Amino acid sequence: MPFHFSALALAAAALSLVALAGCDAQRISELQPGVSTEADVRDRFGAPETIWDEADGARTFEYNRQPAGQINYMITVGADGRLVAVRQVLTAENFARMDMALVRRSLGKPAKVTPYRLSGETHHDWRFVEPPNIPKVFTVVTKDGATVLRTQIGPDMDAPENKGGR
């Protein structure tokens, strides 16, 4: 019986993630760059996780779907209060051009941060989907939480399809 409950709970969680992704697509389709306002963005997405001030007076709103989701949106509103861009930032292309100074700013809050005291390394993990629909994890390994030592991409072993009924 406990397995049945776990499978049911897992199915419900997966369904809610699919629904959330569908809701995001609907919300994004209702926004138009140059036309939609900050109020329109907040009406559709709510309060952002973080607001980043840009040098040109624009502001970028972080809408984080971590730790369970595989998407992070950065929505930029210009100094005039109009929508400039909606970007899903957890992509292999973005990962390839990162340095630690830009990682948090560009990708949003990680799904998980794991410090390893003996080695002095910290692993910062972001879950994402590699097209067409392969769950992956992007990891930035830092020394003392600041200097990037390496990055890696591997399978997302916490994704429901990789759990294998555990």
Domain with residue 163: its CATH number is 3.30.1450
- pLDDT bracket for residue 5 (50, 70, 90): very low
Q: Tens digit of pLDDT for each residue in 67-106?
A: 888 999 999 999 999 999 999 999 878 776 767 778 888 8
Instruction: Give the integer Cα–Cα distance in Å for 74 and 50.
Output: 10
Mean pLDDT of the 51-65 span: 96
82 and 138 housed in the same domain: no
The count of structural domains within the chain is 2
Residues 102 and 140 in one domain: yes
Residues 21, 7 share a domain: yes
**57 and 2 fall within a common domain:** yes
**Pair 164, 121 in one domain:** yes
For residues 138 and 154, give the distance between their C-alpha atoms in angstroms, rounded to a whole number: 7
Residue 93 exposed, middle or buried by CB count within 10 Å (0-12, 13-18, 19+): exposed
pLDDT digits 0-9 by tens, 109-162: 999 999 999 999 999 999 999 999 999 999 999 887 777 888 899 999 988 888
Q: Which of 88, 112, 134 is the last residue of a domain?
A: 88
| Distance, CA of 46 to CA of 49 (rounded, Å) | 9
Residues spanned by the domain of 67:
1-88
